[in-house]
Amino acid sequence: MKSNAVIAIHGGAGTILRASMAPEVETRYLDALSGILAAGQRILAAGGSALDAVEQAVRLLEDCPLFNAGHGAVFTSAGTHELDASIMDGRTLEAGAVCCVKHVRNPVLAARRVLEKSEHVLFTGEGAEAFAAAQGLEFVDPGYFHTDARYRQWLLARGEARAMLDHDGATLEAKAAANASADSLPHEPIDPNRKFGTVGAVALDAHGHLAAATSTGGITNKQVGRVGDAPLIGAGCYADDATCAVSTTGSGEMFMRMVAAYDVAAQMKYRGVSLSEAATNVVMEQLPRIDGRGGLIAVDAQGNVVLPFNTEGMYRGYARVGEAPVASIYV
């Protein structure tokens, strides 16, 4: 009997630079996505849980400097890093999250420990780090999160005295182009200065259970203490075996206001629509009402996978057990 087990991941959405794309750089991103998908796929193929699969995928995304989470996270307005993550078990509706952590190497691991070892759901700042330390998680010097590409991106945003959002104007775009030659990744598939950088994973395991996880470094030059949708259950992450598992990436404030991840599940439950219809409605109709840009990945209990986005591109992919991973960037 063929398994429905499947995992999907995302690594952010935004404006495409395809016209100037170097094939080797595009390949670098696609290979990273495919490799991470394969790691999650192996867990599912061995009968592992959806929760283990999404934790592993997001941990690897946090460790990859190509994406804005963990090593490679963007800088705050103070030139620091503040990381957020969440995880949810669709079998029990248990969830865990941390936000504004500065020394935890893998925030998704801290979120998993909150789910399993705490009566609470969300810890922030010093409290989150104290909890993570008590759980024996690995801490790193803040310099670990630094990459030269993100630093230059921050200098550009700081010069504009604003957080780096997708709707920044023509002047910012021109400056980004002028600085591209100095970047360690001069032609990323998605413009790093017009990109919503969150990572996430959703999965269905062979036992019929769902899980979701999301992690981020936030937005470049964000105000210290700013928290987006990624660590908020229902906004950036949601999982329920009765409906679906969802992880989002986009303009965090808009996804929070729309409770976007939960809205997909709610539409399935209360409207009786399919995963595809619910996710398309949220991304293509509900979010644009308030200028919400980005996308999401989702899987339901039957193994249906959707990856809709309303930007020019989204780092994304999925892998079914027994099949080769599929990774994409463009529309």
Q: List active site positions.
A: 198
Contacts of 276 (CB under 8 A, 6+ apart): 304, 306
Count Cβ atoms within 10 A of the Cβ of residue 257 and give its class: 0-12 exposed, 13-18 middle, 19 or more buried: middle
| Of 131, 141, 190, 143, nearest in space to 164 by CA | 190
Rounded Cα gap, residues 117 and 135, in angstroms: 9
| Of 51, 55, 53, 81, nearest in space to 68 by CA | 81
- Count Cβ neighbours within 10 Å for each residue of 165-195 and write b for 16 or more, e otherwise: bbebeeebeebbeebbeebebebbbbbbbbb
* DSSP H helices in 144-204: 148-160, 170-179
- Residue 324 CB neighbour total at 10 angstroms: 11
| Of 71, 84, 64, nearest in space to 129 by CA | 84
DSSP string, 28-80: HHHHHHHHHHHHHHHHHHTT--HHHHHHHHHHHHHH-TTSSSSTTPPPBTTS-
Strand segments (E) across the chain = 6-16, 83-89, 95-101, 122-124, 190-196, 198-204, 210-216, 237-239, 244-250, 294-300, 305-306, 313-320, 326-330
Count Cα atoms within 13 angstroms, Cβ side, for 55. Answer: 23
Pairing state of beta strands 95-101 and 122-124?
Answer: parallel
Find tokens 């790691």 and name the residue. Answer: 39
Rounded Cα gap, residues 174 and 18, in angstroms: 16
